[in-house]
Amino acid sequence: MKKLGASLVICTLLASNNVLAFADATPIKAVEQKQIIKKEELKKEELKDKSTEKKEIEKNEELKNTSIEIIKPDSDYTVTTNEKIVISGKGEEGSSVSVEVYSKKDEIYERTQTKNLEISAIGFFVTEVKLSPGENKIVVKYKDNEEKENEKVKIVKYKKIENPQDIKKDMDELKDKGIKDIFKDIISSVK
């Protein structure tokens, strides 16, 4: 009973405040229709502008992605005692990369190896190259979306170990010295 009474009171209040409304059947004026059409056309143009901007941004990002990044060796100039070195990097999946190794002889670099690679599905390439004693120039070549050839260069100096006994002796001397002595030796050798 209480529920029925409460429902009647709510319905009476709603009816007395004219909450109930009916649709207006009067026609929209021609001017109002034109304004609505213009607003819709403006919205369509804005959407087109936004989609073209988005496409341009995506195109620019694609151009950026065509560049590769060399991960190893990480510095532009590296010294190693290993005869082989790993060359790795990342870039756009499916892109072709050429790794060329040049060894320095009489101040002239001569190409000793070329390896053509394809960047894997996870976006990486990896290869191992053999170094010649002395300076080796490693050139990684690739093409961007505009088919323009680009390259990145790293220098790796391969220092061949002639006498392992000398290295052991040097290492033993380093163990016996303190850090201050090591820095003093380095500074005095520079002067």
Task: Report the distance separating Cα 161 and Cα 163, nearest Å.
Answer: 6
Number of neighbours of residue 117 by Cβ within 10 angstroms: 17
**Distance, CA of 183 to CA of 191 (rounded, Å):** 13
CA distance 87 to 99: 8
- At 159 the pLDDT is 84
- What average pLDDT score do residues 60-81 get? 74
> What is the dotted CATH code of the domain comprising 69-160?
2.60.40.10
Greater confidence (97 vs 17) lies with 97
What share of the chain has pLDDT > 90, as a percent?
Answer: 8
pLDDT digits (tens, 9 = 90+) for 130-141: 998 888 999 998
The answer on pLDDT for 59 being more than 60 is: no
Radius of gyration of the chain (CA): 37
